[in-house]
Structure 1
Amino acid sequence: MTHASTTATTASQFDRPALTQLQDATAAYLAAPSPDTRSIAAQAVISDELASAEERLGIYATAYRLRLFDVFGGDFEAVHTLIGDDAFGLLCREYLNAHPPSHYSIRWAGQHFPAFVAAREPRRSLVTEMAAFEWALGLALDAEEIAPLSVETLQGLAPQDWPTLRLAAHPSLHHFAFHFDTPAIWKSIDNDEPPRAPVESDIPTPWIVWRQPTEGAPEVHYRSLEPLEALVLNAILSAGDDGLSFASLGELLAPEVGAEAAPGAAINLLVQWIPAGMLIRPEDTGRASRHTSDRIA
């Protein structure tokens, strides 16, 4: 029994470098197909009368890319609809040439897609906004599970603790400024409604995407923001994991609503955001690092 166990362990240790080498060779070929990468990867593939090693490897590579196209079609369905099959297929091929997958999970194959689209589109583009919006919807759904700040926590704060209360954005929350009615266009596409012309504005509208806590399956929400909301949320997001103190929120709002009304305006915003699960308290998550000052965008 001991001998068999030792032999199995030794064989496993012996095969591991070879397995790693095989994985690296196959990944190199899938990421950048070329005669050289194909020749190296094909050394581990068996040829027979039906197909050579290179042909078998090519079939696998084609299937892999088609699978990636399926993933992109799901992650960026509205972008696909907006530009059509041919343009979307070409965009995916060029994207993969520039950004071959580097993560073990296919889920993250499209992580650079919004930036790639933005670099190719005009400065103001519905397609660029749609790519960013669709990717944010997925990120919100996949974001880390962190309990949001609760109303009960605020109710338990002593008056002297309010100024130092630190607030950070939930990991699922993302902030945008859209020149087009991008979320409405996405909704119409998602509902299979007839296509319509987008509405464009010279003044961008702030939007947020986040995951709202529910008893059942998680729900991703999105909505536009009022100017004060956008101002404060942008500051909280800019503060990162450290969060921003309640006192700093008051200082931020004072020029907008007056010094006396600023604390009440900050509380009114919290009353809207906390039940929606948009905020966390850094010290409750262990994320907060040592801070010497508040960062306000």
Structure 2
Amino acid sequence: MRRGGGLRVVSGLLHARQRQLMAFLLQGDTAINDHICEQGTAAKSVRLGIYANAYRKRLQETLESDHPVLGSYLGDALFEEMTLGYIDNCPSHRPSLRDFGEQLPDYLRSAEPFSRHPLIAELASFERLLMTVFDAADAQHLALEELQGAPAALWPRMRLRFHPSIRLLRCDWNCVQVWQALRAEQVPPPPTEGHFHWLLWRNRERLTEFTSLAGAELVAVSTALDGADFSELCEALLAIVPAEQAAGTLVQLLQTWIQRGWLSGIGDSG
């Protein structure tokens, strides 16, 4: 005797109603009306409208929570215009709200009037990256003694393993400086175009940090993140520092990275 047939039917009906409800919320499809029970004096369309408004309000609150500094930069009116436009153009398709705003930077790059000001999209990207860094996987932190104890024969082939929270951000505008000023409740600097590089990570106390990168450190970090070993890192530094200083400069950088908690281990590229 087959069992569970009734359960499958109920489950199928539930999924169908869920799809119809989402179709109403996202496209205004009214097919769900036929499956709403009469209750009280409020019409079914009114009750559905209340639910839809609450749903959109919850999505707006999610963007407000994820992007507080972006909200300060835009002001209330423009931020509301942004959230409503984003909800209409990039509807949520996942049960969790954590990733609802993941398309926001792309939306801001293409939607008027925000696309006329590229710094806005970069500001959104930075705030989302802060969330990504905070939520990154855990991993051990490399100890200085482990690096010092590496066999001499390993050093030329030594490849660095970065902590999972490490993210390198390249910006064309001074979005991080603007973010810092607004976060400190100060007047932000005017938008300035340029070449900016920032490294973000979660420290040993599980706090998110970031620092600007330039010169030898930028070359070393970007090259190491691409998978280069120690000898290849030294070669990359030759474009910036004298040959006799390349290895020493890199060792000093490694010590700093270990202190900051950027590294989780070392390996052999051979």
The normalised TM-score by structure 1 is 0.79
CA contact (8 A) 2:157 2:230 kept: yes
Question: Structure 1 residues 106 and 185, CA, compared in 2 at 3 Å: closer, same or farther?
Answer: same
Correspondence 1:29-108 to 2 at 5 A: 29-30=24-25, 32-34=26-28, 37-39=29-31, 41-108=32-99
- How far the C-alpha of 1:107 sits from its partner, in A, is 1.0
121, 129, 132: which is aligned to 1:136?
129
Distance 1:273 1:227, change over 3 A: same
1:271 has 2:255 as partner: yes
Q: Deviations over 1:214-234 (max 9, x none)?
A: 2xxx20001111322222222
CA contact (8 A) 1:180 1:198 kept: no
Report the equivalent of 2:231.
Answer: 247
Q: Distance in 2 between matches of 1:245 and 1:27?
A: 50
**Conserved? CA contact 1:165–1:246, under 8 Å:** yes
Q: Quote how far apart the aligned CAs of 1:72 are.
A: 0.5
Distance 1:105 1:69 in 2: 14
> What is the distance in 2 between the residues matched to 1:111 and 1:229?
29
- Measure, in 1, the Cα distance between the counterparts of 2:60 and 2:9: 37
Match of 2:17 among 12, 17, 22: 22
RMSD: 2.8
Q: Is the 8 A contact 2:181 2:188 kept in 1?
A: no
**How far apart are the structure 2 equivalents of 1:62 and 1:209?**
37
Cα displacement (A) at 1:123: 7.2
User: Matched residue pairs, number?
Assistant: 268
In 1, the alpha carbon distance for the partners of 2:141 and 2:109 equals: 32
Q: What letter matches 1:27 in structure 2? A: M
In the alignment, residue 207 of structure 1 is paired with which amino acid?
Answer: W
Find the aligned partners of 1:13 and 1:185 in 2 and give their Cα distance: 54
Deviation for aligned residue 1:259: 3.2
User: CA–CA distance in 2 between the matches of 1:100 and 1:230?
Assistant: 38
- 1:151 aligned residue: 144
The answer to whether the aligner puts 1:111 opposite 2:102 as a matched pair is yes
- Deviations along 1:177-234, one digit per CA (max 9) or x if unpaired, are 345543343233334x24x2415545323212211122xxx20001111322222222
The equivalent residue for 1:260 is 244
Whole-angstrom CA distance in 2 between matches of 1:256 and 1:124: 34
* 1:224 corresponds to which of 195, 208, 212: 212
| Structure 2: 5+ residue stretches without partners | none
Q: Go from structure 1 to structure 2 and tell me whether the alpha carbon gap of 1:147 and 1:22 turns closer, same or farther (over 3 Å shift).
A: farther
Structure 1: tracts of 5 or more residues without a match: 1-5, 285-290, 293-297
SS at match of 2:87: helix
